[in-house]
Amino acid sequence: AAADAENPAQSARCKPGSRRRAYQPSAELWTELTGLVGSSEAEDGSGGGAERCPAEVSLEEALVRLAEFLSVQLGAEESFGTPSDLSKPGDVPPLLTVTGQLLALLAWIRSPRGRQALSQGTQPVSGVQHPPPAGSPLQEESPSLSPRGEAQGQQPPQLEEDQRAWQRLEQLILGQLEELKQQLEHQEEELGQLRLGVGATDSEKRVQHLTLENKALKQSLSLTRDLLLHWGPAPHTRAPQEEAEALLELRRRLQEAQDTTEALRVQLGVQEVQLQGLQGALRQLQQETEQNCRRELQQMRGQLAGLHARMASLRQGCGDLRGLVSTFTQSCQGSLSEAQGQVSWALGALSADGAGSQLAEARQGPLPGCSGRLLELKGNIRVLCRLRPGTPSSLVSLEPGPGGTVTTCYRGHQRRFRLDWVFPPHASQEEVFRELESAVLSCLGGYSVCIFTYGQTGTGKTYSMEGPPEDPGIAPRALQSLFQEMGTGGQHRVTLSMVEIYNEAVRDLLAPGPPQRLAVRQGPAGQGGIQVAGLTHWDVPNLESLHQMLSLGRSNRATAATAMNQRSSRSHALVTLTLRTASPSRGPGTAGTLHLVDLAGSERAWKAGTAGTSQEDRDGAQRLREARTINRSLLALGGVMAALRARRPHVPFRDSQLTRLLQPALGPGATVVLLLQISTRPEDLGETVCSLKFAERVGRVELGPARPRRAPRSGTPSSLSTDTPLSGTPCTPTPSPGSPPSPGLDSGSSSALAPPEDLPS
């Protein structure tokens, strides 16, 4: 139709006077059509062109048919006078569809595929060869074709408008496709994120399924877009209504996918919350389990440590038990051998020829009231106990007499001590001495007897040992008894020495002048014993002289006033009386020894008031020092007793001067009597219990059966102790009463506790 305006030949073929001029096609379409028509006319003019180029003929025919169709359409619109309303989206005029097909055809011709197809002589399948669908407006309106002239007049603006509408529709569809694509990509991205955040659960499987669906949908959309792009006429094949429905279907599917995604997202959120809760519970459970395990581990460790400690304790207890068993076995063996020795000694003494003389010698000293014969055979240290008069206390009760007991109640513990003899507080000096007299008189038979008083300060040790002049104690009575027993026959020679141990210094109490400190040393090898250099020995001719000497020594003894005793003995006093057979008619004779020891009292510094808290600091310090040395020496005595009781091979006699000087008196075969002085005062109960314990331990010491000692020959030790050497220095005559003794010893000469043997009789 456009060609008609410039080419009359061409227009002649069309119906003249048509209204096609009223339509102004777009420049692009017009150019295309002009090109096509021109080429067709040139080919027609040459005649037989269709045979040379069948593709151009087909295109021309298509264009002619299209032009005719457009003319018919335009004519029909004019005849009916019902122009289509393009403003309504649902009411698309058929012309637009045809125009779309034309454009698609042109686009296809321009495309490489079209050119290739044209060059190969093929045509597009759709849009050109296919007839319009039955019942379509195209078919319905085809019979009423309008003249070409009318179509030419209305087609260009209509086409342009249709083209724009088509372009809008195309852009709309492409925009929607792009939007769909973006949504799908967004969905895919979200699904990818969800897949990363979710484990291998059912939700993930659903997400994966949805992903596959989306992929399929995407491919479907991609195919649709390709169809739209590559097969432009496709939109013309479907009605706008179908397009709209398809679009709605796509939107609906998209909405469903979005809803599904949202639901999955919500479900995923719930599961994440549940997962977090489960993880928190798991962590808490792990912490609780860990704490429980640690607690149980600590308990197990504690139990293990307790078991270890118990095992160690049991091991130690087992070791102690073994030691006890061993000690007990040794003790049993020792006791057995001791008993065997005693029995054999007794049998030997009874049966042997010399037994008669020994027994005669033993009988020289009367042994009245010899109690505890078995004990004497066994050789235990006898322990007597005397209670100081005072207010009776319910905390101390006693059963007096032989084998008596003292029961104390100290700190809620009641304890009972059994002793060889218990003297009640009202016991007299006479009663006490009566129990000791036999032992004292045994000295005349050559026995070594040691009587010492022990106890707390102020309990009556000095009172019992010496006593006041009107009621003399053990020492005066013993001397009197001895002299009475000896009579005036002059069979014995009696010598006396007296020392004190003050602050671990040995001092001669019978030396002229102030007491001098004497040196104590070990005797020569083979002779044993100890030696006290410069010790004075006095020959005692009669009882009166003996009393004078005792008074002199007592006056020289160190005493001081303490809080516990106005005249407290601050030293240990040792009186040694030696009774040697002066001129034995038969044999060597005997040499008995009597040791009378008045120990200083054990005391507690604060209680004795000797702690130096008074203004007289010097005196206080002096008392304190005295108390310390006294307690130390008493401790050493306890150690010696413990060693003797345990029959240890080493007895620590050298631990103190007291035990060194007592070593001969505590030797085998000696008779030892401990007179324990105790107080019944409640405030003294602690010391009383300690003293009783000490006495109980001492009572278990066995020194062996008492044995008389023969008088040593010249150059042999004296009777005081078989280990005591002779000094060879004669004693001076007995000093007159009231005058200081003058022993007349050679200076530098050595003398022991025992007197020299070769004294003039």
Ligand X SMILES: Nc1ncnc2c1ncn2[C@@H]1O[C@H](COP(=O)(O)OP(=O)(O)OP(=O)(O)O)[C@@H](O)[C@H]1O
Instruction: Catalog residues that contact ligand X under the rule CB under 6 A.
Output: 388-389, 455, 457-463, 565, 567-569, 600-601, 677
* CB 709 to ligand X: min, Å: 31
**304 vs 561 by CB, closer to ligand X:** 561
Nearest partner of 464 among 676, 633, 659, judged by Cα: 676
Compare residues 106 and 432 and give the one whose CB is closer to ligand X.
432
**Cβ of residue 665: shortest distance to ligand X, in angstroms?**
20
First to last CA, the chain: 194
Q: Tell me the pairing of strands 382-387 and 421-423.
A: parallel
- Residue with Cβ nearer ligand X (590 or 677): 677
**Half-sphere CA count of 168, side-chain side, radius 13 A:** 11
Q: What's the closest the beta carbon of residue 552 comes to ligand X, in angstroms?
A: 19
Nearer to ligand X, 126 or 464 (CB): 464
Least distance to ligand X, CB of residue 432, Å: 9
Least distance to ligand X, CB of residue 410, Å: 21
Nearer to ligand X, 601 or 705 (CB): 601
* Smallest separation, CB 603 to ligand X (Å): 7
Diameter of the chain by CA atoms?
207
Token pair, residue 563, equals 């809080």
Residue 533 three-state SS = strand
Which of 340, 717, 344, 658 has the alpha carbon at shortest distance from 503?
Answer: 658
Q: For the CB of residue 694, give the shortest distance to ligand X in the complex, in Å.
A: 15
What are the C-alpha distances in Å from 316 to residues 16, 302, 320? Answer: 143, 21, 6
Would you state the structure tokens that stand for residue 681, as one six-digit string?
């005062």
How large is the C-alpha radius of gyration of the chain? 74
Taking the least distance from each CB to ligand X, the nearer of 59 and 600 is: 600
DSSP state string for 448-490: EEEEEEEEBTTSSHHHHHT--TTS--HHHHHHHHHHHHHTTS-
CB of 506 to ligand X, least distance (A): 19
Q: Which residue, 268 or 627, is less far from ligand X as judged by CB?
A: 627
For residues 155 and 569, which CB has a smaller minimum distance to ligand X in the complex? Answer: 569
Gap between the Cα atoms of 13 and 706, Å rounded: 181
Q: Which is nearer to ligand X, 536 or 568 (CB)?
A: 568
Closest separation between CB of residue 677 and ligand X, Å? 6
User: Which tokens go with 631?
Assistant: 């307690």
Amino acid, single-letter form, for residue 158: Q
**CB nearer to ligand X: pick between 671 and 677:** 677
Angle formed by the axes of helices 112-120 and 94-110, to 10°? 80
**Closest approach of ligand X to the CB of residue 462, in Å:** 3
CB of 404: closest distance to ligand X in angstroms? 17
307, with CB counted inside 10 A (0-12, 13-18, 19+), is exposed
Calculate the CA dihedral of residues 122, 127, 128, 134 and round it to 10 degrees: 130
Q: How far is the CB of 467 from ligand X (least distance, A)?
A: 9
What does the alpha-carbon distance between residue 374 and residue 390 come to, in Å, rounded to a whole number? Answer: 35
Q: What tokens were used for 723?
A: 């280990």
DSSP string, 580-642: EESS-SSSS-BEEEEEEEEPPPB--HHHHT-SS-SS-HHHHHHHHHHHHHHHHHHHHHHHHHH
CB of 690 to ligand X, least distance (A): 15
Closest CB to ligand X among residues 677, 724: 677
> In terms of DSSP bridges, do strands 750-751 and 530-533 run parallel, antiparallel, or are they unpaired?
antiparallel
At residue 579, φ and ψ (nearest 5 deg) are -120, 105
Q: Which is nearer to ligand X, 236 or 623 (CB)?
A: 623
Tokens of 221: 């959309």
Distance CA 644, CA 639 (A): 9
DSSP-derived 3-state class of residue 75 = helix
Instruction: Provide φ and ψ at 578, rounded to 5°.
Output: -110, 130
Cβ distance to ligand X smaller for residue 11 or 462:
462
Residue 83, beta-bridge partner list = none
What is the rounded distance in angstroms from the CA atom of residue 559 to the CA atom of residue 562? 9
CB of 581 to ligand X, least distance (A): 34
Closer to ligand X by Cβ: residue 358 or 569: 569
Q: Which one, 1 or 558, has the nearer CB to ligand X? A: 558
Smallest gap from residue 543 Cβ to ligand X (A): 23
Question: What tokens appear for 89 in the block?
Answer: 């989206």
